[in-house]
Amino acid sequence: MTFPALTAFYAALLALIYLGLSGWVVAGRLSTDVLHGDGGDEGLEKRIRVQGNFGEYVPFALLLVALLEAGGGGATLVRTLLIVLLVARILHPFGMLAPKNSPRQYACRGGGILATFGVMGVAAAALLLRAA
> pLDDT (tens digit, 9 = 90+) per residue, 59-112?
999 999 999 999 999 999 999 999 999 999 999 999 998 999 999 999 999 999
Question: Which residue type does 69 have?
Answer: E
Listed in sequence order, the residues at least 6 apart from 118 whose beta carbon sits closer than 8 Å to its beta carbon are: 84
Question: Which residue type does 110 have?
Answer: G
d(CA 102, CA 1): 45
Would you say the pTM of this structure is higher than 0.85? yes
Judged against a pLDDT cut of 80, whether residue 1 lies above it is answered with no
The model's confidence at residue 132, banded by pLDDT at 50, 70 and 90, is confident
Domain boundaries in the chain? 5-131
Contact, 80 vs 8, CB < 8 A? no
Average pLDDT over every residue of 40-48: 93
State the pLDDT at residue 30.
94
Q: What is the DSSP string of 7-62?
A: HHHHHHHHHHHHHHHHHHHHHHHHHHT--SS-TT-HHHHHHHHHHHHHHHHHHHHH
Please tell me the class of the 5-131 domain.
mainly alpha
d(CA 27, CA 32): 9
State the pLDDT at residue 92.
94
CA angle 15, 16, 22 (to 5 degrees): 90
State the pLDDT at residue 16.
98
d(CA 40, CA 131): 48
